[in-house]
Amino acid sequence: MLDQFQNMMSNPQAMDMVFNMIVQKVAQAPPEMREAIGRVTVTLEKTERGMHLEVGRSDDAKVEETVKGAVETWTEVLSRGLQALGFKMEIVE
């Protein structure tokens, strides 16, 4: 099962499909929102067996709301995916 998931996520066409959907959604946002998002730095630190994600702050309240929602959504997606693969999940607040 893990192999199937990894194969799907390593498939360039599948990845393109997912990210094209995201790009289309972002393109619908007003230019000032896209500019404000572009000023937020996201740092993804790869470790030997994991990663750490840090999202910078924005001076735009709508961007802050978007970031909060995105972090919640991606946390849920990732944790449910890993649980479905059989891993024991622990989310640290």
Quick one: which of 84, 92, 88, 89 has its CA closest to 1?
A: 84
Q: Say if residue 6's pLDDT is above 80.
A: no
Looking at residue 87, what is its pLDDT?
92
Comparing 69 with 2, the larger pLDDT belongs to 69
Q: What is the mean pLDDT of residues 56-69?
A: 95
Distance CA 41, CA 52 (A): 14
Domain boundaries, the chain: 2-84
Comparing 3 with 64, the larger pLDDT belongs to 64
Q: What is the mean pLDDT of residues 75-81?
A: 90
Distance CA 42, CA 56 (A): 6
**Residue type (1 letter), 84:** A
Q: Say if residue 26's pLDDT is above 60.
A: yes
Looking at residue 72, what is its pLDDT?
94
